[in-house]
Chain A
Amino acid sequence: MKTHCSKDALLTGVNTVQKAVSGKNVEPDLQSIFLRAEAGKLIFLATDMEIGIRCEVPAETETEGTLLLPAKLFSDIVRKLPDTQITLESQAESANLEYYQSQIFLKGYDPEQFPLLPDLLDPVSFSLPSESFKTMIRETLIAAAQEESRPIFKGLLLEMEGSVLRLIATDTHRLAYSQSGIDNPNGLDFSGIVPSKTMSEIYRLLKDDDDSITVRFTGSHVSFQFGAVHLLTRLIEGQFPNYKQVIPSSCRTKIRLLVKDLMESVERASLLARESSAGVSLVRLEISGDLLKIEHTTDIGKISEQLSIEKEGADITISFNSRFILDVLRVLPSDQMRFELSGPQSAAIIRTPADENYLYLLLPVRTN
């Protein structure tokens, strides 16, 4: 194989596939990036068998062919290359990179060893604007479990039903739900748990100029294609819990306030809390009349803040894990927010006032 491309193109390739490279606990030839030069392009491929990413970059190919290179070293080399045209040539299983009057020789592996990504058999597919999908990921990924014994909570439920596409995540203490209208003329139904790692990769790789994303699925795998990137992932096996039954249908107190106001107050209050206790940082919200008060006293100091709100319903005092509040405030796509409360021990809902497509449900912390 022999091909010429820019340093930028190589960098795009290695950066795009890097998260799919296997970790250290596999054979070295699996901790690698597979390259295939074809007419007009160079294809990068990596997989850890859970997730596989394929990316094409423009290249001038003289001779088609393949290479299998150690991922870490090859990526590090590409990052350090000068910003110029690079010639990449295979010599048996090794790679030769040439630029200016210099060259780097890098030993590789037998490309035949690389596990090719399975083609989805008879997949069903749909497309949606990439911007909508990116927003949905951003709004829900926050509630997926980081460390959790059950794999289903480390994934997001992707569900298509009628003309609605939903994404739902929960770590059992909170739940984020986002939906989007979708063209579904054939009435396809789909439901699968996609690993959150895959979702955060899609979020990272989706560019603003990618118009749409195409989703293809079978019973066990789902693939996402956008721009020059193709990402394939195994679905998490298991039954996602019935999210509908945990969403309360009514509330006793509704307040409206500015996202920025609450975020900054909670951030300040949690600074004091963080210094004082090793565990969860709590924030206590006292809603009374048209004011929301945050008061916090710890060994090292005291904070007292008041925010103006619009309120419907009863006064209430309620405490939350401040991280759970901040997580959602950072992703809410509007200036204003709505907080729906049903009592100091009942789940609360945070939404944006004008948008019924999103909700974030969180449980308060019981205080004595």
Chain B
Amino acid sequence: MSQLTQAISEVQERLGSLQDEIERLKRYVEALEEENIRLKRELCAVPEQETNRVIANAERLQGVGRENLMKLYREGFHVCHLHFGQPLEDGDCLFCRAFLRRD
């Protein structure tokens, strides 16, 4: 009988330590998840700023591009894709005007 009692108490002991181990792992997973969320947030935060910077730059470039196209047109050259860069002969071009108006 004492042998059996001995065995049960050993199993109980192992179960106890396994439970401890599970608890420890649970906490570890929770910590990892938190860490993951934090990292994700950080990761997203960087591209958002970056995106804004890229957008701003693109807009600036587009603005400069549009100004340049406007200037080119005022100086008497087509900016429409039909005649791009060719001199505007006898007057304004409907397609250049529509192109410059659009954006």
A residues within 8 Å of B by Cβ?
A: 150, 170, 172-175, 241, 245-246, 280, 321, 346-347, 361, 363-366
Contact A241–B91 (Cβ < 8 Å):
no
Task: Please name all residues of chain B whose beta carbon is closer than 8 Å to the beta carbon of A174 when the two chains form the complex.
Answer: 94
How large, as a class, is the contact surface on chain B?
A: 10 to 19
- Nearest CB to that of A363 among chain B residues? B92
How does the 8 Å CB contact mask read for B66-103 relative to A, with 1 for contact and 0 for none?
A: 00000000000000101100000011111101100010
The chain B residue sitting closest to A324, CB to CB, is B91
Can you list 13 contacts pairing A with B, beta carbon distance less than 8 Å?
A: A150-B82, A172-B83, A173-B92, A174-B94, A175-B94, A245-B98, A245-B102, A246-B94, A280-B90, A280-B91, A346-B97, A363-B91, A365-B92
**What residues make up the interface of B, taking CB atoms closer than 8 Å to A?**
80, 82-83, 90-95, 97-98, 102
A174→B98 CA distance, assembly (Å): 12
B98 touches A246 (CB 8 A): yes
Beta-carbon nearest neighbor of A170 in chain B: B94
Beyond A245-B102, A246-B98, whether A150 also contacts B91 by CB under 8 A is no
Whether A246 contacts B90 by the Cβ 8 Å rule is: no
CA distance A14 to B52 in the complex (A): 72
Docked pose: A173 CA to B92 CA in angstroms: 6
- Which 5 interchain pairs have the tightest Cβ spacing? A246-B98, A363-B92, A246-B94, A172-B93, A245-B98
With A150-B82, A175-B94, A366-B92 given, name 5 new contacts (CB 8 A): A172-B93, A241-B82, A363-B92, A363-B93, A363-B94
Q: With a CB–CB cut-off of 8 A, which chain A residues contact B98?
A: 245-246
Chain B CB within 10 A, most for which of A174, A361, A363, A365: A363
A361 & B94 in contact (Cβ 8 Å cutoff): yes
A173 touches B97 (CB 8 A): no
Alpha-carbon distance A122/B78, docked complex (angstroms): 40
Report A-chain residues with C-beta under 8 Å of the C-beta of B97.
246, 346-347, 363
Q: Chain A residues near B83 (CB, 8 Å)?
A: 150, 172
